[in-house]
Chain A
Amino acid sequence: MSRLRSARERIGQVFQGPFNKWLIAIWVIAILIRLALAPFAAHMDLYSIYSRAAEAAYDGEWLGWGSQIVVQSIHNVWLFILKPLLPGAEDIWSATAGVFGVGVQGHEFERFLGYEYLSRLLFLLKLPYILADLIAGALLLRLVSPDRRVLVSALWLLNPLVIYTTVLFARHDSMAIAVMLLGVVLATAGKRYLGLGFLLLAAVMRFFPVLIAPFFLIAYRRTRRELFYLASVLGGGWILIDGVAWGLTGDSPTLTLLNRYPHVNYLFELAIPLYRFPFGQTLELFLFPLVYLLILFWYYEREPAGTRDLIPAATAVYSVVFALTFFHPQYAIWLVPFMTLAVARYRFLLSLHIVQIILLLLHTLQWGAATTTELFLPLSVEAVSMLPDPRNVIAAQMPLDLFFALVRTALAAVSIWIAYRLMTMSYRDDAYREHEPVLERSTST
């Protein structure tokens, strides 16, 4: 009993205080939902990344896939550890998942779905994602005052966007989110450079943390000179790495990202044509980079300080990302972590975020059965085949393009409105009369 009590106290320390009934209820429900759904749903993306990991775990090709090397390495090691628990699994993986431009074939995925221990496999493959979800939830609690923990826990752990991405779609993004939040928690606790290191690690894992890196630097700088040095080191380091890679391979990683990587291109999809070049191309004004830079300049001028000021800026940036760029539904999880913290401070955001969630879920229908009903193929292929494609249900009522344009427009409006309200409310001049320490040593909400 005393062991149980001490364990409870240790967990309580993580949560910075004794339990609350509702907090327990939320965490238990969140864990139950994840455990119950994990063995029965997945997108082909999960099969794809673990098929590449199988090249390492089963064939010893640990560096066979060069893209997203940190995330891929985690999967490689995890599958290697799982091997003894997965009898006969060496033949279920895709041979072409690691071939750039080819990817997983339909018949390979069917073979995967027919694996005798599929439920066990899915549960184990998703386990790191679920743990990352819970760790991220715990880290979020370190960034709010105790009276907001129930709300923040509910907003993260029971958020449909999080459950969808981690458990149903089975994407690994929550791992990078946990690392990013760890960076913020560490910076909040005074370990700024360590925090920055984790933020950069998260950025290597997934692209999204890059977007808040400048805001992070500005929020946690002590002096302008330090900011200049840090920006120079990071910028110079980037240029150095890029230059070395260019010299060694003949290709610049940065230019390769810009020229080839579709996810980067999505940031530039929305553009206003300005004029035609003599050689026939059109000069365009990219909307997202324009708005992003405006937010950054505006933010810098307000002399933000610490986590308290990072949260609204990061929330605004991610809101603008999902307002002005093309994105796939599984990436919407990036909207959530800072939004939960922002909602904890400004309750009026809750209703707007709920609208955002509804619109994002409707937006997800754009990909039809592939991102909705077919996620449950591991449960029952036959049952899924009985369900209509959501796009066909919508198309029977109104033109599909009109429907999704309306949804997307509403989503952009709500998201931009959230960003605007956050920026104007959080950085009013009177909020800075009393300067807080640049680096907060305790949570401030």
Chain B
Amino acid sequence: MRRGIAILLLTLGGAVVLVGCSVSTSLVPAMAEQDGRFGVDTEVRQPFYSESNGLHKLTIQFNPEGFSGSQVPIDPSRGAGIELHYAPGSDPRFPEPSFHSWPEHQEWLGELTGDVVHEQTFCTPYPDLSGIELRVATYGADLSSGTGTLKPFETVEVLHLPVVGDHVGFLPGGSEVEVVGSTEGWARVVLGDEERGWIDMEHFAELPEPMRSNNEDVMLELFELDSDEPIREAVVNAEEMFDISHVAFEFPVVEDALDQCYRFRLTSPESEPGNAVTFRYDPDGPYEDGQAILNGDPVEGDIVFQPIYDLQDPLYSGFLDDYEFAAPLDAFEARFDPVDHTADRYLEVRVTSGEGSVNVPWSRNRPPGQRPLEVVGDPDAPGGGLIFNAAFQRDIPVVDVARTSGRDLYSRARMDRPFFAGMAVLLLTTVVAGGMAWRRSGVDGR
């Protein structure tokens, strides 16, 4: 009987080991402490890093006005929706640094003329790939230093940085201003002895003459990793590119890009020296899933790039009013079918208000990934994180854990053979000595 039970247990244990275990794990051990609340009339988005696959539960804190937590109304959120999306824009794995950062160790590749071919391999953890964003320089094709004239009749705002900088001041329409450079299609202007600012070049009626003109097509072709047949291509004329700025090469969506690896190729067959652009390159090679191939030579570094996605469908969609109130957590939660392909990716929870505003608590502790929440249409939203948790149906790769442990153990044994040989002798001696003592010893408890 005992032997039978032992065999059964061993069989079950073996089966578990061979098949692998599955366990539900949470995103964070405990939801963050609340530091404040704010009302949302539009949509609040919270990107986060997901370590595991199989996201199947969301738990979120929200408190509509007048709801104390002790009596849950039928429609606590008044029709608010909740969705889960991929958030590739928050994913830091690609070599593209933050928008305004131009690290000094990075360099320009040199003019992309007709005889030059630059390539970069990469893998995409998200579907619906629709383009590649690069950093380009045009050798002063926007303007040179000198005096520019603003368009008449409109007051122009000057920012501390291009596109999204803080407000510096205003200049009256038609005024002349000293221009000393450009980036992202914005001109850098001198406001006073020490003060500088940025004005969108569209506000200028006249700018200093550019240092040169580039007018040939630049082509980006997308290949599957080991193929020479392009599956997508995008062309941008060099004339449309701004100096020291981002440029997007957009192509029809590659829907099945999830977990696929590709190679993109940059060429400009008609360009010649003096009529060509250049792209940004990071010689340190920060990108782990690919590398640059410059004129056919694989190198350590990476072209500075970021994939562009056209993600439409949410991974999960629901209504907060359908969520059940979990009293110990003072939060609402719902389970749904596990969502695949969430491991090692950035996701985003989006809460969209319904008939009324949603009162959302926030915390200074952001979720994994450390990205701040964003509220659509409200740049002054708190810079903290949404208070929520998620659960994943996760496989524990028992076989892989055992195999990896065995491999590393073997590796250690090879590195220190005398010790492991001694250890084997010690273990063997203990067993043998124990066995001998067992044979010679009594059985009566003495």
Q: Size class of B's contact patch?
A: 35 or more
Taking CB atoms, residues of chain A closer than 8 Å to B57 are 396
Judge whether A21 and B443 touch: CB under 8 Å: yes
Nearest residue, chain A, Cβ from B401: A383
Judge whether A386 and B26 touch: CB under 8 Å: no
Judge whether A147 and B437 touch: CB under 8 Å: no
Judge whether A36 and B427 touch: CB under 8 Å: yes
Judge whether A25 and B25 touch: CB under 8 Å: no
Is A214 close to B, CB under 8 A?
A: no
Instruction: For residue B14, give the distance in angstroms from its CB to the closest CB of chain A.
Output: 20
Is B258 close to A, CB under 8 A?
A: no
Judge whether B445 and A119 touch: CB under 8 Å: no
Judge whether A393 and B430 touch: CB under 8 Å: no
Judge whether B401 and A119 touch: CB under 8 Å: no
Complex alpha-carbon distance, A106 and B310, angstroms: 39
Tell me whether A388 and B396 are in contact in the complex, defined as CB-CB below 8 angstroms, given that A20-B445, A28-B431, A400-B29 are known contacts. yes
Taking CB atoms, residues of chain B closer than 8 Å to A393 are 23-26
Judge whether B442 and A19 touch: CB under 8 Å: yes
Those of A74-123 within 8 Å (CB) of chain B: 116-120, 123
Flag A127-161 by CB within 8 Å of B: 1 or 0 each: 00000000000000000001100100000000000
Stretch in B64-72, B196-204, B216-224, B404-412 touching the partner? B404-412
Those of B403-446 within 8 Å (CB) of chain A: 404-405, 407-409, 412-413, 415-416, 419-420, 423, 426-427, 430-431, 433-434, 437-438, 440-446
Is B135 close to A, CB under 8 A?
A: no
Is B391 close to A, CB under 8 A?
A: yes
Complex alpha-carbon distance, A18 and B442, angstroms: 8
Complex alpha-carbon distance, A176 and B438, angstroms: 31
Taking CB atoms, residues of chain A closer than 8 Å to B409 are 40, 379-380
Judge whether B420 and A119 touch: CB under 8 Å: yes
Taking CB atoms, residues of chain A closer than 8 Å to B263 are none
Is B397 close to A, CB under 8 A?
A: yes
Judge whether B427 and A396 touch: CB under 8 Å: no
Instruction: For residue B61, give the distance in angstroms from its CB to the closest CB of chain A.
Output: 13
Judge whether A396 and B442 touch: CB under 8 Å: no
Instruction: For residue A15, give the distance in angstroms from its CB to the closest CB of chain B.
Output: 10
Tell me whether A395 and B389 are in contact in the complex, defined as CB-CB below 8 angstroms, given that A18-B446, A116-B416, A383-B401 are known contacts. yes
Is B193 close to A, CB under 8 A?
A: no
Instruction: For residue B428, give the distance in angstroms from its CB to the closest CB of chain A.
Output: 10
Tell me whether A120 and B434 are in contact in the complex, defined as CB-CB below 8 angstroms, given that A382-B404, A388-B23, A401-B30 are known contacts. no
Taking CB atoms, residues of chain B closer than 8 Å to A399 are 30, 326, 328-329
Complex alpha-carbon distance, A147 and B441, angstroms: 15
Is B118 close to A, CB under 8 A?
A: no
Those of A179-231 within 8 Å (CB) of chain B: none
Judge whether B26 and A402 touch: CB under 8 Å: no
Taking CB atoms, residues of chain A closer than 8 Å to B434 are 24-25, 27-28
Tell me whether A387 and B401 are in contact in the complex, defined as CB-CB below 8 angstroms, given that A17-B446, A31-B430, A399-B329 are known contacts. yes
Tell me whether A379 and B442 are in contact in the complex, defined as CB-CB below 8 angstroms, given that A400-B30, A402-B328 are known contacts. no
Judge whether A395 and B26 touch: CB under 8 Å: yes
Nearest residue, chain B, Cβ from A26: B434
Instruction: For residue B328, give the distance in angstroms from its CB to the closest CB of chain A.
Output: 5
Complex alpha-carbon distance, A382 and B402, angstroms: 11
Complex alpha-carbon distance, A8 and B408, angstroms: 39
Complex alpha-carbon distance, A383 and B405, angstroms: 6
Which listed residue (A19, A117, A379, A398) contacts B419, Cβ 8 A?
A117
Judge whether B412 and A118 touch: CB under 8 Å: yes
Listed from nearest, the 5 A-B pairs whose CB atoms lie closest are A28-B434, A19-B441, A380-B408, A395-B26, A120-B419
8 A-B residue pairings within 8 Å (CB atoms): A8-B437, A27-B434, A35-B426, A379-B408, A380-B407, A388-B23, A396-B57, A401-B30
Residues in chain A within 8 A of chain B (CB atoms): 8, 17-25, 27-28, 31-32, 35-36, 39-40, 116-120, 123, 146-147, 150, 368, 376, 379-383, 386-389, 391-402
Task: Give me 6 other A-B pairs in contact (C-beta within 8 A), A32-B427, A368-B29 excluded.
Answer: A20-B444, A383-B402, A386-B400, A392-B26, A396-B392, A400-B30
